[in-house]
A and B are shown apart, each in its own frame.
Chain A
């Protein structure tokens, strides 16, 4: 039911109600809210089981059921996905009010919800992979919603291709697991787990390959390049995809196969380090961006790095906790940013904003709540979850802890920078001076999310949803260090960015995103050219020249040869006749 509602909505909108935009919007919102209500039911009652259909069943060899898994993890994700999704749908009603492609947008949004819920509910690798790809596709549609803009079309393509690379590794990982365990259903794999552990090298490779899928989808280094460009999509899309759901799918996958990963130390370490590098990278680049959404995009990359780091440190609880709180405050931040953008008539450069705290009061307040949660300021939710991860790192891997702490410092820095430049100080442009607050349909989701961003961290609240991690021996040093980092970051930001008209710091390396895009373009150009040349050579010389022209040429040649016997000349015939006689005599007499 949960799944079918958004799917039905997508189908109805695409097939029937394309012309009646408001109706489409309404259908979509109703569907997703319906899903949310169903999710709440499922969450409350622990005795619901779902139907199971057999889809592919090659007896004994390959069995892929369409079945759902309803354990604590998936229930929690259902709630997050449908809950935040509902809020974003409602917000979209306001944000996309005047957009000509509204029906298409809502249809795609519904399809995306369907796919994401499918990932959460899938009980076997193959089903999850199918929905995984579907999410990738719908995100392509959503990011490229304003496809008339070249940059948007390019960004959508880039997102799809980059996640596809990760998916390729993911698929190979699934095949490896299936080859050994004989089944793709998660529970069966757990049961047959001993078969894999006997071969640690194999296990490590399979684990890392499955991690590739997460690297792509959750925008880890080195496949993170698509996420900032994906800001070309409408802001609610950014909120949905990049804050709450799609990127969380990667972390969800990792937690699902945690039993696989935790059996291999190498895999764990790899994952932890990639998460850490990603976190640092995202934070560094974010300090130099001037588009309000890009700052948030790199912040997402950074926070996802934290989550992946937590998985690599063998604590699913910490990762899920951070995912839980992050969904709220990041979605909040994105939606609030969207509110700012709409209020300033689609202006996204922060250096053209300023002084909005007095004009967009509620937006400012909610943005501030989200910002404080992101920084990890107590008592907001982000503090608890980030603290949990840092404590984990402190205990298990000191270098990672140091980098994590540095990233926290940077996070505080760039978030404070953003708040300072966007909201405080004097207005820097006309649109900033004449801004007014957004309509209630956009404000109310903001307020709801702000509430959750504040409360979700408290143990009393979070305990109902998931297992809150406890690191008992950490003591007070980790939170203390975290708060110090936070204050230091905010303080430095104040120093630099108070009452500025232009960007005072210039770090080319960060601003140009560590030249990743240029590097990839160069790489692709060279490898692809080489491959294209090889393929062209094979095609021209071997296939065309050898096989096709070769056979025809041979036939022609043989024909020409035989043709020589057909001269009309009698004397030539006589000559051949004589030759034949000689041969005959030879054979008769000497054989």
Chain B
């Protein structure tokens, strides 16, 4: 134990301990970590996704980055602020990589990046979409015709009856 070390050696060790406690590596350990609160492999066929995350401690500032590759060579900052979720929409077909980090509001240094989420966006086939669109259109027309023709027929029937 340092406190029980004799004389000068103890002082040197205590000084070393104080120095290492303030070193960059150790500070990094104290910086807040952020993590996604869902699985790391996500998929969507509608082009949107809600991402949720959290950090160690309350009132942290977060940064969410996205990129086209896992190396984040050309990252885009999707969000910076207090929120612990973000809804992304209007995504085209493709693979998206996302990561988040946190910092305390009074400090400039960011904590380490979280594990990376891989989001696969694969929209439904257009053939299916247009087929259902056509089916819906026909159904709508049938309802309009059925209600319109029968209501008109009843109206005429009643007026002739009167």
Chain A partners chain B: no
B interface residues with partner A (beta carbon < 8 Å): none
